[in-house]
Structure 1
Amino acid sequence: MTETLQALGRQLGADVDTLSSISRNVANIQTPGYRAERMTADFATQAGLMPALDQRDGSLAQTGRGLDLALRGPGFFVVERQGQALLVRSGSFQIDADGNLVTRHGDRVLGQSGALTLDPALITADAPMRVEADGQLWAGSQPLGQLQIVAVEQPLQLRAMGNGAYRYDGAPAQWQGSVVQGAVEGANVDPADEMLRLMELTRHVDAVRRAMSTYDQMLDAGINRIGEN
């Protein structure tokens, strides 16, 4: 009897986690570079599920702005926050007062040799900043640095750290995508897919509720029979 209650409780816990995942996805439909969550099996947790990031590309919105960069293919820009290397997908960058290339939240963007510092004097109308598909930065014919872009071999090891950044403790993988300059990537959330997930979740919760009700009736009947004896 106790095992039955525990199993039903685990199912309800998994449903709550799934609902939280759907809610986060819907809330971030308009967030640039947001990676949708999908619940995947993880038997090491009590609920048997854990969120994993969807690695599919989001749609592109052309901006024409030289510091707006979008990635195609699985991968992340690497940034530094309080001395910690984090991964971000959104590439809407800017240059701060010290010449550092930073995210809109102030995280420093990392290149192959450390944080990228750009000399604004090199970037002019005659020598605008150009970003190649491989992440190489140029001002006309002057090289400015190489963006550090990585892929992840174990997506389940990604942990959200706020402001669209993720900590990753797993093994790196070789990035094989491309950079698109003058565009921002939208969230890869599909509203129709999220609605379908919500409908399926609602049916599952109702099935668990009926199972609990049936179990309660059986338990009540068993107690009554014991009382009659």
Structure 2
Amino acid sequence: MIRGLYTSASGMLTELTRNDVTSNNLANVNTTGYKKDMAVNSDFAQMLLRRVDDQKQTDISQRPVIGALGTGAIVDEIVTIHEQGQLRESSNPLDLAISGEGYFVVQNDNGTYYTRNGSFTVDSQGYLVTSQGDMVLGQAGPIILGDAGEVAVDGSGNISVNGENIGALRLVTAANPQEMTKVGDSLFTGGQAVDGINGQVKQKFIESSNVNVITEMVNMIATMRAYEANQKIISGHDNSLSQAMDVGRLR
């Protein structure tokens, strides 16, 4: 009975984590370049149950097997799904998106990061920056547009202003995207970056979040139902324990 309490409690904790992940996905449904997360669960080791009080077998290991008993669950890891979101057309020439695999490279005081969020702008010093003020890196370092006129970016990331080439975006592909770590603001760090992308840059487009609202709402409903089921099991065990204690007091 006590084992059942712990098993159900571990299930409730697992569902709480899954609910947090789903809630965060829904909160970022309109975040440009956001990649959704998914909680991956794993089971605790199962216990092999044998029949007790079997008069025919004094050796416990020889008693008939009833079956296996689960002993709980845990969230093994939070996996980021790096599939591409929908590309939406805009009128801003500094809005860029990558169609295919790859990342823009940006830099701030804390280091170098990778992002799919290509909603860029020009700061007061003429540098191409993200909406958070991080500098967008080119092949030769931070990109300076100055008092830019007509900006054009081709599919390979080459940038020209008023028809004059001023450099190229630094674009990379992750050897293993699962080795990358989220740091907020649609930025990633870690992993092994390889120069070049398996796709092309599209100007006047931005990449939407890859979160599917309907899917996440269904996941949230399933999570809450599983949580409530474990809650009822704990309540049932608690009532049984209370009745057992009452019987003990009567004796």
Pair in the same fold by TM > 0.5: yes
2:167 maps to which residue?
145
The CA distance in 1 between the partners of 2:178 and 2:6, in whole Å, is: 26
2:223 maps to which residue?
201
How many residues are matched?
Answer: 221
Q: Pairwise mapping of residues 121-160 of structure 1 onto structure 2 (< 5 A)?
A: 123-124=148-149, 128-139=150-161, 142-160=164-182
Offset at 1:69?
0.2
Q: Pairwise mapping of residues 139-218 of structure 1 onto structure 2 (< 5 A)?
A: 139=161, 142-166=164-188, 168-172=189-193, 175-218=197-240
Task: Provide closer, same or farther for how the CA distance between residues 4 and 156 of structure 1 changes in structure 2, counting only shifts above 3 A.
Answer: farther
The CA distance in 2 between the partners of 1:6 and 1:81, in whole Å, is: 46
- Superposition CA RMSD, Å: 2.6
Task: Provide closer, same or farther for how the CA distance between residues 119 and 15 of structure 1 changes in structure 2, counting only shifts above 3 A.
Answer: same
2:34 maps to which residue?
34
The CA distance in 2 between the partners of 1:98 and 1:193, in whole Å, is: 43
Task: Provide closer, same or farther for how the CA distance between residues 147 and 210 of structure 1 changes in structure 2, counting only shifts above 3 A.
Answer: same
Offset at 1:129?
2.2
Structure 2 gap ranges (5+): 44-72
% identical equivalent positions: 26
TM-score by length of 1: 0.82
Other structure's SS at 1:48 match: strand
TM-score by length of 2: 0.76
Stretch deviating more after TM superposition (28-37 or 182-191): 28-37
Determine which of 104, 110, 113 is the counterpart of 2:137.
Answer: 110
Task: Provide closer, same or farther for how the CA distance between residues 95 and 206 of structure 1 changes in structure 2, counting only shifts above 3 A.
Answer: same
1:93 maps to which residue?
120
* 2:241 counterpart of 1:219: yes
The CA distance in 2 between the partners of 1:41 and 1:156, in whole Å, is: 17
Other structure's SS at 2:172 match: strand
Q: Name the aligned partner's letter for residue 6 of structure 2.
A: Q
The CA distance in 1 between the partners of 2:233 and 2:42, in whole Å, is: 24
Other structure's SS at 1:212 match: helix
1:66 maps to which residue?
93
Which runs of 4 or more aligned residues in structure 1 lie more than 6 Å from their structure 2 counterparts after TM superposition?
none
Q: Name the aligned partner's letter for residue 38 of structure 1.
A: M
Q: Name the aligned partner's letter for residue 77 of structure 1.
A: F
The CA distance in 1 between the partners of 2:193 and 2:218, in whole Å, is: 33
Stretch deviating more after TM superposition (83-92 or 157-166): 157-166
Stretch deviating more after TM superposition (109-118 or 17-26): 109-118
Say if 2:155 and 2:201, in contact at 8 Å, map to a contact too.
Answer: yes
Offset at 1:161?
2.6
Say if 1:56 and 1:73, in contact at 8 Å, map to a contact too.
Answer: no
The structure whose Rg is larger is: 2
Structure 1 gap ranges (5+): none
Which whole-Å deviations, capped at 9, do the CAs of 1:96-129 have from their partners, x for residues lacking one? 2322110111100112332222344xx54xxx32
1:7 maps to which residue?
7
Offset at 1:190?
1.0
Which whole-Å deviations, capped at 9, do the CAs of 1:20-46 have from their partners, x for residues lacking one? 122122222222222222222478xx9
Task: Provide closer, same or farther for how the CA distance between residues 13 and 130 of structure 1 changes in structure 2, counting only shifts above 3 A.
Answer: same
